Structure 1
């Protein structure tokens, strides 16, 4: 149900209202109602600021999750390295050169496997 209002307009504004209603093929009352709704609603800059604020909040939450994931990964790697170094005694000098050569080959294989996994969709975590 709509309520009736009476108000006075200057001749210039009344003319613009009539022209707009003709161009839009709607009644003058509909033009006035749309103009009032637009005027009474938050302005464009406030809406844009609110939307930008929501987007920034979402990005901040995503960065916090990413930061947490990196922290977990770093701690897991550090724990593994500490456990490995504790469990594996140092090699005697005679076996050091052969172990380094074998270690280089194994590391190269590891890097290649890691590269393949990162290029594909298959992941151990996530």
Structure 2
């Protein structure tokens, strides 16, 4: 058995409800029940959207920073490669072995420095961004 409810509707809404209920196969109870069900479903979805919106906004900002950092990194790398290829002359065949050994040593020093900076939480990107913001503040 379904519980009985007494509702009071204004005249305009009553007319619209009676017009809908006049169609074959529909009743006022079914129309009101469907409308209430749809309203409650939208309200629940809206509350869920509000909860997720905060998280999605935070993720969107994080992705924006990642994209910006990646663009800075790629542009820096491209400029460095172009510079290195432009200024470095090829070595004679006799000096290649010594150059490789020196290159390996310098590369290992580079990797060690990167590891130390990351472990300490200091990154060149943060330094560059700090410099840039300081220069914007003091033109």
- TM bucket, shorter chain: 0.5 to 0.7
Calculate the TM-score normalised by the size of structure 1.
0.61
Where relative contact order (Cα < 8 A, 6+ residues apart) is larger, the structure is 2
Asked if 1:109 is matched to 2:74, the reply is: no
Match of 1:77 in 2: 77
Task: Note the aligned Cα RMSD (angstroms).
Answer: 2.4
May I ask how many residue pairs the two structures share in their alignment? 89
Match of 1:91 in 2: 91
Calculate the TM-score normalised by the size of structure 2.
0.56
- 1:40-79 pair list within 5 angstroms: 43-79=43-79
Shift of 1:54: 2.9
Q: In 1, distance between residues paired with 2:65 and 2:107?
A: 30
Structure 1 unmatched ranges of 5 or more: 1-8, 11-41
| Distance change in 2, residues 1:122/1:57 (3 Å) | closer
Shift of 1:62: 1.7
Shift of 1:109: 1.1
